[in-house]
Chain A
């Protein structure tokens, strides 16, 4: 499945680092999403963009900053993260927010 790609696939960062996660979709979709998946919690929706406009910010700490420059690209900028932010970060896209979502392979983030 190459419709939604994510880079990097693995990332290890210290608490003082700044890094960015990238997501790209090749499906012509208008909605894009960031999710966090931790070992002991269900999937948590973080951000939603629909037609490049942020439509949902699910009480996410400000150390996570999304950016959607166009409908095909979505970034998640990370700074001063905590060890509890270690998780699998999944990107998804959909035709718009009223349709099914297609997921990327995820970025496994470890904060040391």
Chain B
């Protein structure tokens, strides 16, 4: 069955430090992968997506993610974290039925990021 695992429930980093949030997926076909961010009480904002091509994808707000097929991973990174990055981050995989006519997003449980001054 398709699934997404975010092994870290909560991460705290210091402002200015680098960040890596982990995501592993289970999906038989070539995955379409996403990272979303959610501030408290808000909806989800798309940070970046991977459909095909270059395995290192750039997103908004200085985030990037690398698709590694051999490790079934799609980790999110940022070289220098800002206090405004404190939020919850969700990894997701788009699953499609046979023929690709119907797709659904499968979300991980999220990683909450706290930023220390």
Contact = CB atoms under 8 A, between A and B. Distances in A.
Interface stretch (B21-29, B38-46, B71-79): B38-46
Interface residues of B, number: 23
Contact of B104 (A6, A42, A56, A88): A56
A2 to B, nearest CB: 11
A100 B92 CA distance: 10
B107 interface: yes
Contacts, number: 52
A99 B94 CA distance: 8
A75 interface: no
Given A97-B103, A101-B105, A42 B110 contact: yes
Interface core residue of A45, A90, A103 (most chain B CB under 10 Å): A103
Q: What is the interface residue range for chain A against chain B?
A: 20 to 34
Interface stretch (A13-21, A66-74, A77-85, A104-112): A104-112
Q: Is the interface of B mostly helix, strand, loop or mixed?
A: strand
A45 B90 CA distance: 15
Interface of A is mostly: strand
B104 A98 contact: no
Nearest to A105: B43
Contacts of A90: 43-44
A43 interface: yes
A11 to B, nearest CB: 14
Interface string B32-52: 101010000111111001000
Nearest to A97: B103
Given A55-B102, A88-B41, A103-B45, 7 more contacts: A42-B108, A90-B43, A92-B44, A97-B96, A100-B32, A100-B46, A101-B105
16 contacts: A1-B43, A1-B45, A42-B110, A43-B90, A48-B104, A56-B102, A56-B104, A88-B41, A97-B102, A98-B100, A99-B103, A100-B49, A103-B36, A103-B43, A103-B44, A105-B43
